[in-house]
Amino acid sequence: MPPAPRRINPPPTREKLDYADMAVIDLSKAQDAKGRADLAIQVSEAMQTLGFLYVINHGYTSSQTERIFDIADVLFSCVDSDEKRLYAANTKVTGSHQGYKPRQSWHINNGVQDQLEHYAIHRNVTMRQHPEAIRPFLNEIEAFARHTHFNLRLLALGLELPEETLVNLHGFSSVGETQGKISFLRQVVLPYLLDKARFIKYYPRSEDDELKTKNVWLKGHTDIGSITVLYSQPIAALQMLGQGGKWKWVKHIENAVIINAGDVMEFLSGGYYKATIHRVVQPPVDQRNHTRLGVFYFALPDDNVQLVPFIESPVLQRVGIVRRYEDADAPTTEAWRKSRTSAYGYTQLKAADNGSGVEEETINGVLVKHYN
């Protein structure tokens, strides 16, 4: 394997934080059908309540995970600013994140721009050119992206869909059959063939920026796609909006991944799986002054998929479907992804009428909220 500079993280914080009580899904128990059925129930419950869960024993060893973080940092530490400009995503125009997002391109609050840089790579790593320093690692990034298939089986099982069908569908790669009624399996399994890995590096900010934004680094939001997979790392900063409107910290678990559903999953599951609001804030005192590196996997269905709820699911037939729009008005993934992505951080948000401090925008007829 080509060498990558080693990146050393600080130890986990010693501060007592108000942590979210998230379910821990142990994938080593997924060896047999009974184990998988039990896990599916746990996943389903977690997705309907907190909307955030941990997965452990996901098949990557700690050193494999560390290696991915080292590789991710190459994109930020080993590429100079001229070359970064060459590979800029130009998200506002393209509605796509592929490439670099430079620091200070999104508005956070009170005139303060973000201090995070990110790089997104499509699962098919050959789709675009990448900076020279990262080229030796593209095979490993592709393997990493493929590695994340596992979550979907459990999420689909939670909707009482046949497990074997899912397994068989893992090799499914055609995206041309999207006319007529598309099955949920296809909509939810397909994403893993089509979406992207994203690496984010957050830089410490000035005291002035901290004051003006009340320590918010990335505003409260729901994710755009179906599922986000986030590799747990020790710098505390991620918070989710818990029941009762209280922000809870997400605790680091060594070599766990954190999974949450996004808007698309909420649409497809008729509100059954919740897209939970989360944000990033300044880390606790003993972890400030460090950069914070994040490794993510964002799943999105194929661009042609119309985001209508999966009416075949026995679970949804029992509990009922909550629609955010009429089926006839449902956006395609492409329309949703492009308008959400190009608006994020760039549009002027409107304060909600109820004085709650929440800001709003309307995307494809769906009200999208941002929290401070």
Does 114 contact Fe ion by CB under 5 A?
no
Does 117 contact ligand AKG by CB under 6 A?
no
Site for ligand AKG in 205-264 (CB under 6 A): 218, 223, 230, 238
Q: Nearer to Fe ion by C-beta: 195 or 223?
A: 223
**Paired strand residues for 54:** 24, 258
Q: Which two tokens stand for residue 372?
A: 């401070």
Task: Name 196's Cβ contacts closer than 8 Å, sequence gap at least 6.
Answer: 97, 98, 120, 121, 122, 123, 145, 297, 298, 300
Does 280 contact ligand AKG by CB under 6 A?
yes
Does 340 contact ligand AKG by CB under 6 A?
no
Q: How far is the CB of 299 from ligand AKG (least distance, A)?
A: 12
Q: How far is the CB of 102 from ligand AKG (least distance, A)?
A: 15
Q: How far is the CB of 238 from ligand AKG (least distance, A)?
A: 4
Does 305 contact ligand AKG by CB under 6 A?
no
Judged by beta carbon distances under 5 to 8 A according to partner kind, the member of ligand AKG, Fe ion, none in contact with residue 79 is: none
Does 278 contact ligand AKG by CB under 6 A?
yes
Q: How far is the CB of 262 from Fe ion (least distance, A)?
A: 8
> What residue number has its CB nearest to ligand AKG?
238
Distance CA 234, CA 11 (A): 6
Q: How far is the CB of 231 from Fe ion (least distance, A)?
A: 14
CA dihedral for 350, 351, 357, 362, sign (positive or negative): negative
Q: How far is the CB of 278 from ligand AKG (least distance, A)?
A: 5
Helices 33-48 + 150-157 axis angle, to 10: 80
Distances (CA, A) of 276 to 156, 157, 272: 19, 20, 12
Q: Alpha helix locations (H) across 138-203?
A: 138-147, 150-157, 163-168, 184-189, 191-194
Distance CA 165, CA 185 (A): 8
Q: Nearer to Fe ion by C-beta: 117 or 223?
A: 223
Judged by beta carbon distances under 5 to 8 A according to partner kind, the member of ligand AKG, Fe ion, none in contact with residue 238 is: ligand AKG
Q: How many residues bind Fe ion (CB under 5 A)?
A: 1
Q: How far is the CB of 118 from ligand AKG (least distance, A)?
A: 7
Does 209 contact Fe ion by CB under 5 A?
no
Which residue in the set 294, 301, 309, 331 belongs to the binding site for ligand AKG (CB under 6 A)?
Answer: 294
Q: Which two tokens stand for residue 67?
A: 């290696």
Does 266 contact Fe ion by CB under 5 A?
no
Q: Are residues 213 and 221 in contact, defined by beta-carbon separation less than 8 angstroms? A: no
Burial 285-307 (b: 16+ CB within 10 A, else e): eebeebbbbbbbbbbbbbeebbb
Closest to 293 (Cα-Cα) out of 73, 113, 78: 73
Does 53 contact ligand AKG by CB under 6 A?
no
Binding mask 222-261 toward Fe ion (x if CB under 5 A, else -) reads -x--------------------------------------
Judged by beta carbon distances under 5 to 8 A according to partner kind, the member of ligand AKG, Fe ion, none in contact with residue 270 is: none
Does 101 contact ligand AKG by CB under 6 A?
no
Distance CA 161, CA 156 (A): 6
**Paired strand residues for 247:** 241
Task: Name 81's Cβ contacts closer than 8 Å, sequence gap at least 6.
Answer: none
Q: Enumerate binding residues for ligand AKG (CB under 6 A).
A: 200, 218, 223, 230, 238, 278, 280, 294
Q: Enumerate binding residues for Fe ion (CB under 5 A).
A: 223
